[in-house]
Amino acid sequence: PAREPHTPPQVSTAQSPNRETTWSKSQAPRSEAMVGPRFEQTSELFQPRPLAAIELIKEEPIRLVEGRVAACDGGGGALGHPRIFINLDKEGPHSCTYCGIRYEKDHHHH
């Protein structure tokens, strides 16, 4: 009889070292993603475990902008993303849809 695919006991079920759960509806939990014949002879100990970017971007400070519009290009150059403009008229921080960096209008600027 064939055995059902299962997560090997040495595989951590955390999504990444700095995040326990998934961060997208379409993302499979790690316990379900690393199963089946493809992973039978794969040691989890040697697989890359990158930090979750969603947690790292939370540590970035909110960038205060003097005007009503912020421009974000993700750092520019080949490592950035297309430049977008973010309207800051509404209160609170606003995130770039590409990289997640947050911008807010500086109310102390005259």
pLDDT for 91-102, tens place per residue? Answer: 999 999 999 999
101: phi then psi, degrees, rounded to nearest 5: -60, 140
The total domain count for the chain is: 2
User: Looking at the domain assignment, is residue 110 inside a domain?
Assistant: no
pLDDT of residue 2: 62
43 located within any domain: yes
Distance CA 64, CA 86 (A): 12
Question: Could you tell me the two tokens for 5?
Answer: 């695919």
Q: Are residues 68 and 96 in the same domain?
A: yes
**Is residue 68 situated within a structural domain?**
yes
pLDDT, position 5: 57
- If asked whether residues 36 and 72 sit together in one domain, one would say no
Whether residue 11 is contained in a domain is answered as: yes
User: Quick one: pLDDT at residue 14?
Assistant: 78
55, part of any domain: no
In the three-class reduction of DSSP (H, G, I as helix; E, B as strand; rest coil), residue 77 is classed as: helix
CB-based burial of residue 74 (10 Å sphere; 0-12 exposed, 13-18 middle, 19+ buried)? Answer: middle
Q: What is the mean pLDDT of the chain?
A: 84
Domain that holds residue 28: 1-50
pLDDT of residue 92: 95
Whole-prediction pTM value?
0.66
Identify the pLDDT of residue 99. 92
